[in-house]
Amino acid sequence: MLTLVPASVAVVVTIVLAAAAVAARALTPAAGAVAAAFGCVIVVLAGYPFLALLILFVVGSALATRYRLEEKRARNLQEGRSGERGVSNVLAHIVIPTGLVVGAILSPFVLPFPTLAILYSCALAFGASDTFASEFGVLAGEARSIVSGKPVPAGTNGGITGLGELFALFGAGSTAAVALALFTLWGEGPGNGPLFFVTATAAGFVACQVDSVLGETLENRGLLTKGTTNFFAMLSAVGIGALVVALTGASL
């Protein structure tokens, strides 16, 4: 947990960055307020590397969303009206990371820092994997159902493309690499860097597939919303990370 002065600076920086995201139309004003509130909790309780990873995720998502935005808008495949993300999207991607941080503060023996770092990284690796798969995959043309393999229109829940899968892996892997670099830079690097990287990458990518399956089987039937689909898929990424920690007996 940060002391008073570093915490105050971190809160100001978090609020300014959230306001910048709103000004850049990456987030709606309400979504920006939510992101700022949760971001402040994360940085004050866990420290700068956790906030830095969250910021990089938001920036990467915004850039992916803006990529060929006019083409996406012409095909009605964009986020929001102009690529901005709303409250439900922000909550779906930030509640679990924040919950992990709070849980680590309340029960440090159950969730020690190294374990928190990998589970947090797994969660954001899914977020990047899912966002990249969606934003780049919709531009690849016709998709195929992840369940049946039959052709489906681009942007259909549960539809995947080769390009989308490639970017899903890239999103998960790049997040894992950045997380490893950040925690190492702050002198809090994992004991087993390669295992950390592989675990976060695999968890993020596999959870992206879980998201597609849930999207086709439950969201398309009205049993889940887009936000709850993302939430449960991110939860599966955290579960994969926790399973690896449990099986290896390592805190990574």
Average of per-residue pLDDT across 207-234: 95
Residue spans of alpha helices (H) in the chain: 4-23, 29-46, 48-66, 69-74, 87-106, 113-137, 162-185, 193-214, 226-248
* pLDDT for res 21: 86
Residue with tokens 């976060």: 200
Average pLDDT, the chain: 89
* pLDDT for res 209: 97
Phi then psi for residue 152, to 5 deg, are -140, 160
Beta-carbon contacts of residue 147 (< 8 Å; ≥ 6 apart): 158, 213, 216, 217
Q: How confident is the model at residue 7 (pLDDT cuts 50, 70, 90)?
A: confident
| 76 against 128, higher pLDDT | 128
Neighbours of 211 (CB within 10 A): 29
* pLDDT for res 66: 76
* pLDDT for res 208: 97
Cα distances (Å, whole numbers) of residue 36 to 53, 89, 140, 149, 200: 14, 14, 34, 40, 25
Answer yes or no: are the C-beta atoms of 155 and 77 closer than 8 Å: yes
Cα distances (Å, whole numbers) of residue 33 to 2, 48, 119, 127, 181: 22, 19, 25, 19, 29
* pLDDT for res 131: 93
Q: How confident is the model at residue 191 (pLDDT cuts 50, 70, 90)?
A: confident
Average of per-residue pLDDT across 96-125: 94
* pLDDT for res 58: 86
Beta-carbon contacts of residue 204 (< 8 Å; ≥ 6 apart): 122, 124, 125, 126, 127, 128, 129, 171, 172, 173, 175, 176, 237
Distance CA 103, CA 163 (A): 37
pLDDT at 80 over 60: no
Q: How confident is the model at residue 83 (pLDDT cuts 50, 70, 90)?
A: low
* pLDDT for res 140: 78
Beta-carbon contacts of residue 102 (< 8 Å; ≥ 6 apart): 41, 45
Nearest to 65 by CA among 82, 51, 90, 53: 82
Total domain count, the chain: 1
Q: Is 34 exposed, middle or buried, given 0-12, 13-18 or 19+ CB atoms closer than 10 A?
A: buried
**Domain containing 48: what range?**
4-248
pTM score of the predicted model:
0.92
Q: b/e map of 136-156 (b: 16 or more CB within 10 Å)?
A: bbbbbeebbbbeeeeebebeb
Answer yes or no: are the C-beta atoms of 95 and 231 closer than 8 Å: yes
Distance CA 238, CA 207 (A): 9
